[in-house]
């Protein structure tokens, strides 16, 4: 059963229930109001007849005497019947003719009893009142008095019942028709979405998008979300294709180099030290590539654990600076400032993060250029800045600089031994620690990478000198003075 039919059926059932309860309430309330008014009149008439009735007992026979002319019976079609204790009719109002039985044979009870009966084709409201000789109900029961009045409002109640039934049926039918029509119009965009999605699936074309109906309701938001999902899937699909192509190319290049050099060595009949150095370099490059791919694969699958321990980021930052200085880079490495900062994370991964950025800046800065490093804190955030005066990054490449295997100048990047994974790894490490990386760049003027990390505020766990708590309330600035 489709959603349209189920919704229409549900709306119809709910509306039928609502109309049934409404009609029943109106009918019962109207009937109760009309009958209550009749019951009050019957009770008044019965008391007046009771007061004017004389009853006495001769042996086992009860004799009743009622005045012939009762003014009470003149205003409305009201009847009365008096019966003995066995239910035999003793006397009655003249308009009834000669009744053979009581108006309500089932009403002979110890208390006053109201009922509705049909007598000679007329609806009567009957009050049955027991008659006693003596004080109140403790006296001897000698008979019953039944007072009845024609329910003149009974046809009105029947007409009201028919009107409510007809109105309810018409309303339910109209609701069923309008509900089916409205449901079809409301759910038609879902059919369109399903049809387009089926076409996308059959054609394997993720560049297509679902039609935008311009609606801003739930279906419109669903269309927008699905289009964004398709856009992301398209990006991931193209990234996967590019990833496979780049991995194949990156692995094929060193393998081709190694194979060619090995063939040359076989022809030469001896090992050339220069050729061995080339082979060693390519093997190391391929090992780095495989290691980076394994790291990213483990990170994507959640299998790369990140330790959460307080880390003295200033000490780690200085270690990276000294490590890079020790290899005597062809550029000037300037340390501007180092504030005392503690973060919560993995020291090895954080060191890898900073080292990747510094190594990237040194590689793409021409000889004689400058790479500037600084560590500061601002508004509870640690800021690591790595700026260079290198070749810069074109504006159109900035949004994709952190994509895997993406390189601005593939030839120059490959010549430097890069695989296009360093910045992707750095981005992942920063985000895994609750931070991020931003980059600004200009062609020919260099690039500036800024790492932001949340500062760890519990200073009691920070190790001090000789194992004591060594809290420093002011930041310590370290300035490079090495010639």
Of the ranges 272-276, 321-325, 405-409, which is most confident?
Answer: 321-325
pLDDT above 50 (res 274)? yes
Query: Could you tell me the CATH number of the domain that includes residue 265?
Result: 1.10.287.130
CA atoms within 13 A on the CB side of 124: 21
Nearest to 93 by CA among 124, 67, 131: 67
pLDDT value at residue 284:
72
**Backbone angles phi and psi of 275, in degrees to 5:** -65, -40
Least confident of 48-62, 162-176, 381-395: 48-62
DSSP reduced 3-state for 184: helix
**Residue 481 pLDDT > 90:** no
- Same domain? For 121 and 256 the reply is no
Nearest partner of 219 among 247, 191, 240, judged by Cα: 191
- Split at pLDDT 50, 70, 90, the class of 1 is low
Domain count, the chain: 3
251 with 347, same domain? no
pLDDT of residue 245: 66
- Distance CA(423)–CA(353), nearest Å, equals 9
118 in the same domain as 12:
yes
Q: Is residue 116 domain-shared with residue 137, that is, in the same domain?
A: yes
CATH assignment of the domain containing 363: 3.30.565.10
Lowest mean pLDDT: which of 32-36, 60-64, 227-231, 243-247? 60-64
Shared domain for 375 and 458, answered yes or no, is yes
In a domain, 165, yes or no: no
pLDDT-above-90 percentage for the chain: 14
For residue 13, name the pLDDT band (cuts at 50, 70, 90). confident
Contact yes or no for 223/217 (Cβ under 8 A): no
Domain assignment of residue 285, yes or no: yes
CA angle 269, 271, 275 (to 5 degrees): 120
Distance CA 92, CA 456 (A): 104
Confidence of residue 350 (pLDDT cuts 50, 70, 90): very high
Residue 363 CA, chain-centre distance (Å), reads 49
Q: pLDDT band at 448, cuts 50/70/90? A: very high
pLDDT, mean of residues 55-82: 60
pLDDT digits (tens, 9 = 90+) for 114-171: 888 887 777 888 888 888 776 555 667 778 888 888 777 667 777 888 888 888 888 8
Please indicate, yes or no, whether residues 459 and 338 belong to a single structural domain of this protein: yes
Model confidence at 383: pLDDT above 70: yes
Domain end residue (candidates: 253, 268, 300): 300
**Cβ–Cβ under 8 Å, residues 453 and 345:** yes
Burial of residue 321 (CB within 10 Å: 0-12, 13-18, 19+) is: buried
Range of the structural domain that residue 346 is part of: 309-467
Instruction: Decide if pLDDT at 470 tops 50.
Output: no
Residues 265 and 330 in one domain: no
pLDDT of residue 370: 93
Rg of the chain over all Cα atoms, to the nearest angstrom: 50
- Establish if 205 belongs to a structural domain: no
Burial class (CB in 10 A: 0-12, 13-18, 19+), 441: buried
Average pLDDT, rounded, for the chain: 76
Q: Which of 131-135, 330-334, 395-399 has the highest mean pLDDT?
A: 330-334
Phi, psi of 336 (to 5 degrees): -80, -55
**pLDDT tens sequence across 337-349:** 899 999 999 898 8
290 in any annotated domain = yes
- Stretch 426-449: mean pLDDT: 90
Pairing of strands 113-119, 122-133: antiparallel
Tokens of 235: 């990006």
More confident residue, 421 or 475: 421
DSSP annotation string for 427-450: HHHHHHTT-EEEEEEETTTEEEEE
CA–CA dist 252, 275 (Å, integer): 18
Per-residue model confidence (pLDDT) at position 227: 83
Alpha carbon of 120 to those of 101, 103, 105, 124, 125: distances in Å? 12, 10, 15, 10, 13
Whether the pLDDT of residue 270 is over 60: the answer is yes
Residue 190: how many CA atoms within 13 Å on its side-chain side? 11
Are residue 256 and residue 346 in the same domain, yes or no? no
Q: Do 353 and 239 fall within a single domain?
A: no
> Residue 315's pLDDT band (boundaries 50, 70, 90)?
very high
Q: Is residue 479 scored above 70 in pLDDT?
A: no
Q: Is residue 477 part of a domain?
A: no
Q: What is the pLDDT of residue 483?
A: 40
Tell me the pLDDT band of 54, cut-offs 50, 70 and 90: low
> Would you say residue 480 lies in a domain?
no
Most confident of the following: 69-73, 118-122, 309-313, 416-420: 309-313
CATH number for the domain spanning 51: value is 3.30.450.20
pLDDT on residue 292: 66
Instruction: Give me the pLDDT at residue 451, please.
Output: 94
- What Å distances lie between residue 212 and 58, 181, 184, 207, 216, CA to CA? 99, 22, 18, 15, 10
Q: Are residues 296 and 316 in the same domain?
A: no
Identify whether 212 is part of a domain. no
Chosen domain end from 157, 180, 201: 157
Contacts of 115 by beta carbon, 8 Å cutoff, 6+ apart: 104, 106, 107, 125, 126, 128
Q: What is the mean pLDDT of residues 437-466?
A: 77
pLDDT of 460 reads 41
Domain boundary at 157, 188, 205, which?
157
Q: The tokens of 155 are what?
A: 């046809």
Do 371 and 352 share a structural domain? Answer: yes
pLDDT in tens, 182-208: 777 777 777 777 887 787 777 667 777
Q: What is the pLDDT of residue 464?
A: 42
* Mean pLDDT, rounded, for 398-420: 62
Tell me the backbone φ, ψ of residue 398, rounded to 5 degrees.
Answer: -60, -45
Measuring CA to CA, how many Å separate 423 from each of 154, 274, 288, 401, 440? Answer: 90, 31, 14, 7, 14
Tracing tokens 């780690």 back to the chain, one arrives at 316
Is residue 479 included in any domain, yes or no?
A: no
Residue 419 pLDDT class (50, 70, 90 cuts): low
Q: Are 287 and 336 members of one domain?
A: no
């Amino acid at each position: 059963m489709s959603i349209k039919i189920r919704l229409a059926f549900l709306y119809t059932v709910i509306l039928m229930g609502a109309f049934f309860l409404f009609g029943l309430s109106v009918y019962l309330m109207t009937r109760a109001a009309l009958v209550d008014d009749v019951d009050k009149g019957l009770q008044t008439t019965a008391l007046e007849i009771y007061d004017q009735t004389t009853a006495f007992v001769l042996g086992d026979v009860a004799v009743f005497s009622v005045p012939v002319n009762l003014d009470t019976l003149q205003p409305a079609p009201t009847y009365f019947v008096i019966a003995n204790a066995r239910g035999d009719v003793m006397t009655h109002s003249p308009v009834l003719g000669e009744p053979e039985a009581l108006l309500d044979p089932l009403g002979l009870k110890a208390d006053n009893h109201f009922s509705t009966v049909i007598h000679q084709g007329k609806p009567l409201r009957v009050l049955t009142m027991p008659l006693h000789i003596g004080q109140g109900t403790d006296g001897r029961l000698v008979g019953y008095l039944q007072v009845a009045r024609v329910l003149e409002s009974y046809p009105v109640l029947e007409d009201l019942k028919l009107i409510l039934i007809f109105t309810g049926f018409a309303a339910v039918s109209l609701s069923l028709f309008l509900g089916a029509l409205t449901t079809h119009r409301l759910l038609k965009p879902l059919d369109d979405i399903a049809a387009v999605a089926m076409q996308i699936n059959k054609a394997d074309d993720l560049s297509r998008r679902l039609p935008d109906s311009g609606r801003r309701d739930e279906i419109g938001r669903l269309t927008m979300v699905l289009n964004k999902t398709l856009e992301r899937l398209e990006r991931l699909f193209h990234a996967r294709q590019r990833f496979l192509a780049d991995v194949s190319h990156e692995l094929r290049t060193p393998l081709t180099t190694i194979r060619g050099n090995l063939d040359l060595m076989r022809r030469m009949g001896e090992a050339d030290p220069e050729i061995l150095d080339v082979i060693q370099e390519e093997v190391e490059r391929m090992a780095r590539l495989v290691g980076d791919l394994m790291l990213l694969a483990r990170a994507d699958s959640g299998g790369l654990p990140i330790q959460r321990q307080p880390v003295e980021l200033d000490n780690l930052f200085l270690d990276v600076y000294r490590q890079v200085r020790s290899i005597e880079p062809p550029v000037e490495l300037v340390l501007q400032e180092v504030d005392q900062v503690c973060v919560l994370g993995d020291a090895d991964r954080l060191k890898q993060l900073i080292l990747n950025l510094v190594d990237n800046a040194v590689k793409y800065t021409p000889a004689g250029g400058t790479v500037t490093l600084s560590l500061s804190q601002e508004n509870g955030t640690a800021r690591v800045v790595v700026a260079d005066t290198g070749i810069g990054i074109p504006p159109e490449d900035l949004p994709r600089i952190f994509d895997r295997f993406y390189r601005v100048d593939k030839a120059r990047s490959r010549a430097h031994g890069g695989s296009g994974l360093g910045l992707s790894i750095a981005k992942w490490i920063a985000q895994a620690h609750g931070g991020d990386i931003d980059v600004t760049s200009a062609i020919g003027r260099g690039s500036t990478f800024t790492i932001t990390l949340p500062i760890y505020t519990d200073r009691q766990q920070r190790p001090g000198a000789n194992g004591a708590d060594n809290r420093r309330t002011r930041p310590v600035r370290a300035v490079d003075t090495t010639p």
